[in-house]
Amino acid sequence: MKETIFNALAEPNRLHIVELLRNGPLSVGEIADQLGLNQPQTSKHLRVLSESGLVEVKPSANRRFYQLRTQPLIELDDWLESFRRIWEERLDNLDDYLRKLQAQEKLSGDKE
Written as tens digits, the pLDDT of the chain (112 aa) is 678 899 999 999 999 999 999 999 999 999 999 999 999 999 999 999 999 999 999 988 888 999 999 999 999 889 899 888 888 888 988 998 999 999 888 888 776 6
* Whole-number pLDDT of residue 112: 62
* Whole-number pLDDT of residue 46: 97
CB neighbours of residue 21 within 10 Å: 20
* Whole-number pLDDT of residue 52: 94
CB neighbours of residue 14 within 10 Å: 21
The length of the chain, given as a count of residues: 112
Helices 39-51, 28-35: inter-axial angle, 10-degree rounding: 110
* Whole-number pLDDT of residue 15: 96
Largest CA distance in the chain: 83
